A and B are shown apart, each in its own frame.
Chain A
Amino acid sequence: MDIKQSHLALDWAYDRPLLAVRVAPDGLQAVTSAEDSTLQRWVLATGEKVVLKGHESWVHALRYSADGQQLVSGGCEGRLIWWSIAEAEPKPVRTIEAHAGWIRALDLSPDGTRLVSVGNDLVIRLWDMASGEKVAEWVGHEKHIYSVLFHPDGQHLLTGDLGGKLQMWNIATQQIAKSFDAKPLHTYEGGQRVDFGGVRGMALTTDGAQLLAGGLHKGTNPLGAVHEPLLLRFATSDCTLLKSHVSDGIPGGVIWRVCTLPDNTSVAACGGSSGGFLLFFNAESEKDIHRFQLPALARDMDWHAATERVLTVHHDHHLRVTNLFAKSST
């Protein structure tokens, strides 16, 4: 892997703007969602796609099962759908009216047995991945929950909301284990009277020692998309803020998702009026250590470790695959 040699490897187009993406565990396929409320399953090598219909609204939350046989999608109508995603013609296996309003994020426990969903109804819901049975639910946010992430220990999970509240929960007791102050990611603009920003994406370093929370700051005109990307780095041991990573020269930028690479470099998908970027950060530098400009504004990303690829989806209808290594190594 050599992030400075990043290059665009594949570029496939759908006929509507895309919203979200997740790559299959084997790295050969991916699923995206689009503004027509459908999902698309892609064979990455050929661009062959199958369109999946089942949601009545947009889908922002996707999660593969550990074995890649199923995919769960969470829609803005509050519905969770389990798909037989590995079949030639994937079908809904199970549909659950899971939340009141938008489902914003999903994650899978490290052992693959539990699914967690969060959204605008402020409820954290835990599901049995195999049966779809609701295992637990609890509340603990006052503003829309934007992000959720299982801790690698499987005993805790993290949730982040619109207001910059970021909490680690003990799953067994459903009590707050730790709180991180991610308020720099939130803006309340008094003139426009709107809350803006929030914890758009979260990731832990490979050893779990540091937590990254991405989004935006300097939201001086939220309704007019005047803001800049911001990535916060916390120590998970004592919740202290270690770094506020900024990226110069990206007005209108927002970090939609952040992932951790094997060497603990963070890669973030950034979209905004300046275009689309993959931004790379490490623990030492306040600013991005490298940036790769994408052909269009990015809205979501996923990372596949074995193939060292980043997948991004874009407003211009495209699914793009960026290799994080030199072209000659392909």
Chain B
Amino acid sequence: MRAKYACQSGEHSASRRRFLGVVSGGIMATGLGCLTRGSAAESLRQQDMRVVVFNMHGGLSQLESWDPKPGTKTGGPTRAIPTSVPGIHISELLPHTAKQMHHLCLLRGVNTSEDDHGKGAYLMLTGRRQTPAADYPQIGAVAARTLCDESKGLPGHILVTPGGAGGRGNEAAYLGPKYASISLGGDKPPQNSVKPEMITDQAELRRHEFRRKVNEQFLSRQRTAITDAYTYSYEQALRLMERRDVFDLAKEPPTDLERYGNNDFGRQCLLARRLLENGVSFVQVTHSNYDTHNENFNFHIEQLGEFDRPFACLVNDLAERGMLEKTLVVVLSEFGRTPNINLYYGRDHWSKAWSVVMAGGKVARGAVFGQTNAEGTEVTDGQVDHGQLFHTYLQAVGVDSGQSLVVDGKELPMADPAVGPIWDVLT
């Protein structure tokens, strides 16, 4: 597919008008629905859609990645290279990814107006601005709730982080802890997922029978979402222990490990592929760290040098294995980095004009949407924000983002009802 809006094309303005029209129509058309746990929801789960998010922790520079500005005051030393899509150029630091451009959609007009790490991460993962009045579930929790087939015995929301493994996160907000993440430390299986040798199978069985019995007695008197999640966690942990092989990278061909690169991020990407192939609904891989106030160019060479090949391998594998149709790939950050180069060769926080990348699902392929000015200091066309992106992620995997989720009898909008999806990047 050719680039949609690599720009200066006559059809751009027409498409832009269409985009605006469709968004407002979309909001009206989808504002009243409600995704319950009924047949519509079941049908969605049967479609087996998945999401993998790459969180470029710290704030990836758009100028060193998706929107290079070589030869300008702000471009730095980074050059642009052609991609597999004629007319679309990305940073020379992503040569392998450039060969997968025909699968990707670059959104170069992101403006989130939030330069704080924590708040930026929150709005990019929840689609809403953080307020003291309300807490919203992250995309992983919403994906787990809407896409996860619990009968597979695997968690629907997995984080692969370079740090230590933890238990469940608290990203689910009102959806409850059942949809919170299970965190994996690098490419390691979940912690404590092997039965200690000193416990026999018989003892294990008796232990759980006793737990269930006591649990039932307790639940007969006091049952809440929290207690349900507690029970669910135990049962899910048991099923997860039975399917521990899903997390075992040793079961992947050594040639694949070599292809992805036998380093931390390469193994994490291969694990992500394995989890997605086995039906995990949502995987988030964190790549760290891009908060390059100092020596931005050295650090982006270093970090993107690690990111490029495994990411490109994953996109390529998903496409070749026929999984890309059912898997949304997102590369996001909490914000981008300043066009201005500071005195330490660094770039600082910049949320007014930066880029997000999507691929797969219903996302247009080989496309660019949005444009920044010559020096990348502001969006000149196709501006989008976190709320629109959040809607678009859901729509890309077949979830009607205008619907509400029913939680404890209350209907809660799945995504910010004030905005809608970016229809122009959806097919």
- Interface positions of A (Cβ within 8 A of B): 16-17, 35-37, 56-58, 76-77, 101-102, 120, 144, 191-196, 222-225, 252, 271-273, 297, 315-316
Task: Decide if the interface of chain A is mainly helix, strand, loop or mixed.
Answer: loop
B79 touches A195 (CB 8 A): no
Contact of A193 among B78, B288, B294 (CB under 8 A): B288
Task: Find out whether the CB atom of A77 lies under 8 angstroms from the CB atom of B79.
Answer: yes
Give Cα A16 to B292, complex, Å. 21
Chain B residues near A194 (CB-CB < 8 A): 289, 299, 302-303
Asked if B292 contacts A223 (CB within 8 A), the reply is: yes
- Would you call A195 and B302 a contact (CB within 8 A)? yes
Interface size on B, residues (CB 8 A): 25
Determine whether the beta carbon of B301 is less than 8 Å from that of A223. no
The one of A16, A222, A316 in contact with B294, judged by C-beta atoms closer than 8 angstroms, is A222
Query: A57 touching B79 by the CB < 8 A rule?
Result: yes
- Determine the chain A residues whose CB is within 8 A of the CB of B140 once the complex forms: none
**Chain B residue, CB-CB nearest to A272:** B344
Among B60-104, those with CB < 8 Å from A are 70-71, 73, 76-79
What residues on B are CB-neighbors of A196 within 8 Å?
295
Give CA–CA (A127, B79) in the complex, Å: 26
Q: Which residue of B lies closest to A192 (CB)?
A: B289
Q: What residues of chain A lie closer than 8 Å to B288, measured between beta carbons?
A: 192-193
The answer, yes or no, to whether B341 is at the interface (CB within 8 Å) is yes
From B73, B291, B295, contact of A36 by CB (8 A): B73
Closest residue of B by beta carbon distance from A193: B288
One of B291, B293, B341 near A17 (C-beta < 8 A): B341
Contact with A along B332-352 (1 / 0, CB 8 A): 000000000101101000000
List residues of chain A with CB within 8 A of the CB of B344.
225, 252, 272-273, 297
Once the chains are docked, how many angstroms separate the CA of A277 from the CA of B291?
A: 27
Shortest distance between the CB of B166 and any CB in chain A (Å)? 16
**Additional A-B contact list (13), CB under 8 Å, known A77-B79, A195-B302, A224-B294:** A35-B341, A56-B71, A57-B77, A102-B301, A120-B301, A192-B288, A193-B162, A196-B295, A223-B291, A225-B293, A225-B294, A225-B344, A315-B343
Q: Looking at chain B's contact residues, is the secondary structure mostly helix, strand, loop, or mixed?
A: loop
A273 and chain B: residue at smallest CB distance: B344
Binding site for A on B (CB under 8 A): 58, 70-71, 73, 76-79, 162, 264, 288-289, 291-295, 299, 301-303, 341, 343-344, 346
The 8 A-B residue pairs with the shortest CB-CB distance, nearest first, are A225-B294, A58-B77, A76-B77, A315-B343, A192-B289, A57-B77, A223-B291, A225-B344
Min C-beta distance of B239 to chain A, whole Å: 33
User: CA–CA, A247 to B70, complex, Å?
Assistant: 37
Report the nearest B residue to A189, measured CB to CB.
B289
B289-A297 in contact (CB<8A): no
In the complex, 12 of the A-B residue pairs with CB atoms within 8 angstroms, ordered by the A residue number, are A35-B73, A36-B73, A56-B70, A102-B77, A194-B299, A194-B302, A222-B294, A222-B299, A225-B294, A225-B346, A271-B343, A316-B343
Contact of B299 among A16, A102, A223 (CB under 8 A): A223
Give the nearest-CB partner of A226 in chain B: B294
Most buried by B among A16, A57, A144, A195: A57
Q: Which residues of B have CB within 8 Å of A272? A: 344
Distance in angstroms between the alpha carbons of A138 and B293 in the assembled complex: 34
Closest to B299 in A: A194
Complex Cα spacing A102 to B295, Å:
14
* CB-defined contacts of A35 to chain B, threshold 8 Å: 73, 76, 341
CA distance A57 to B69 in the complex (A): 11
Expressed in whole angstroms, the Cα–Cα distance for A223 and B58 within the complex equals: 10
B219 to chain A, nearest CB (A): 42
Bound complex: CA of A87 vs CA of B325, how far in Å? 61
Contact of A223 with B293 at beta-carbon distance under 8 Å, contacts A77-B79, A315-B343 already known: yes
Most chain B CB within 10 A, of A77, A192, A224, is at A192
